[in-house]
């Protein structure tokens, strides 16, 4: 790569996840361009990285988005709500003919990207990977790694356990009509989650053990159903973090190490079933917001250096060698069975 191709625009660079992404890029030798719609917040993160360029940009002003992407090889969109930012930023990336990645957990947004932009992105020759984060990308890669050489599956079941959840302001934002109902993949198609949502027990490795779970699907349902042939894709979360999320007095994340990570720990356990057989892949780590940074930056690295299998709009598991990708993330502890 030339030095100009080391430049990556991070939109929403001053947000909680955006700061982790900027730091990860910087540590890996990329040159982040700090971009966002709030001048004062942009100045604040700019003071922490005085050598980096700042570009004020708003999704309501397409020319400002074009300026924010000028000279970059890719954009990583970290600015929610993605219902507002994803389409304008992706359209700007298409105009600039640069790669687009985001950390979106919003199902409707990810589904819309696949349905609306697949052909345009493929024709343009760029790679678009939405939901390349804890929600979406991690479970997608685990499901792909667990499936291995099976041509299809009867069911993909995802269990997410958090010891706590101190939500950011963006996480707390209420769902809007544009988000639509939460979706699961059942009987071979996307369908609204049942009301009330189904519940079950799930046994994780330590420190979680057996947990009471409730169905709570995020963007992984959309990404997995786009490329893994399975009759069912279901996702569950344990109850403790949901109680935190609903609690009005639950504080935002608090940094407990030099990298700014919280003390929160997580496990994501994916079970793939076929003809009475079971295969399983699990990942354990710390801080669901922080882990999104190495996931999305590793994806960017592999796109730029030619290790991405597809152009167009693609899911993480179809873009990369899933097991190799997961093993490269030093902040994850990976296990696979069957």
The domains located in the chain, with CATH, are 3-133+292-319 (3.40.50.720), 135-288 (3.30.360.10)
Query: What pTM value is reported for the model?
Result: 0.97
Going by DSSP bridges, is the β-strand pair 312-313/127-129 parallel, antiparallel, or unpaired?
parallel
**Which of 1-10, 113-122, 238-247, 282-291 shows the lowest per-residue confidence on average (mean pLDDT)?**
1-10
Which tens digit of pLDDT belongs to each residue from 115-125? Answer: 999 999 999 99
Q: What is the mean pLDDT of residues 231-244?
A: 98
pLDDT of 257 higher than 90: yes
Which tens digit of pLDDT belongs to each residue from 280-315? Answer: 999 999 999 999 999 999 999 999 999 999 999 999
Confidence band of 5 (pLDDT split at 50, 70, 90)? confident
Q: What is the mean pLDDT of the chain?
A: 96
Which contacts (CB < 8 Å, 24+ apart) does range 241-250 have?
Answer: 241/162, 241/163, 241/164, 241/165, 242/165, 242/214, 242/216, 244/164, 244/165, 244/166, 244/167, 245/165, 245/167, 245/171, 245/172, 250/165, 250/166, 250/167
- Contact between residue 236 and residue 202 where contact means Cβ atoms under 8 Å apart: yes
Q: What is the pLDDT of residue 2?
A: 39
Q: What is the pLDDT of residue 338?
A: 78
Confidence band of 238 (pLDDT split at 50, 70, 90)? very high
Confidence band of 3 (pLDDT split at 50, 70, 90)? very low
Q: What is the pLDDT of residue 1?
A: 37
């Amino acid at each position: 790569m030339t030095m100009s191709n080391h430049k990556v625009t991070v939109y929403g660079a001053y947000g909680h996840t955006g700061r982790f992404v900027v730091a990860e890029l910087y540590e890996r030798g990329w040159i982040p361009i700090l971009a966002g719609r709030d001048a004062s917040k942009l100045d604040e993160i700019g003071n922490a990285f005085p050598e980096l360029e700042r570009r004020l940009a708003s999704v309501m002003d397409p020319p400002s988005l074009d300026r924010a992407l000028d000279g970059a090889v890719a954009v990583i969109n970290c600015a929610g709500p993605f219902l507002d930012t994803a389409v304008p930023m992706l359209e700007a990336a298409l105009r600039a003919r640069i790669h687009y990645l985001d950390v979106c957990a919003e199902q409707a947004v990810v589904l819309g990207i696949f349905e609306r932009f697949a052909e345009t992105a493929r024709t343009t020759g760029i790679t678009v990977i939405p939901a390349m984060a804890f929600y979406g990308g991690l479970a997608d890669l685990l499901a792909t790694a667990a499936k291995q050489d099976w041509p299809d599956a009867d069911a993909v079941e995802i269990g997410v356990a958090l010891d706590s959840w101190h939500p950011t302001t963006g996480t707390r934002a209420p769902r809007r009509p544009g988000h639509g109902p939460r979706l699961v993949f059942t009987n071979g198609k996307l369908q609204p989650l049942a009301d009330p949502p189904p519940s079950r027990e799930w046994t994780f490795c330590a420190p979680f053990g057996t947990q009471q779970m409730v169905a709570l699907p995020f963007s992984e349902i959309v990404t997995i159903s786009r490329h893994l042939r399975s009759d069912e894709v279901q996702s569950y979360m344990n109850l403790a973090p949901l109680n935190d999320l609903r609690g009005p007095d639950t504080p935002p994340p608090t940094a407990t190490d030099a990298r700014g990570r919280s003390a929160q720990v997580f496990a994501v356990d994916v079970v793939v079933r076929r003809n009475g057989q079971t295969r399983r892949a699990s990942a354990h780590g710390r801080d669901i917001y922080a882990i999104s940074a190495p996931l999305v930056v590793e994806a960017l690295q592999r796109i730029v250096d030619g290790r991405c299998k597809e152009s167009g709009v693609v899911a993480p598991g179809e873009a990369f060698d899933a097991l190799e990708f997961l093993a490269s993330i030093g902040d994850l502890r990976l296990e696979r069975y069957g």
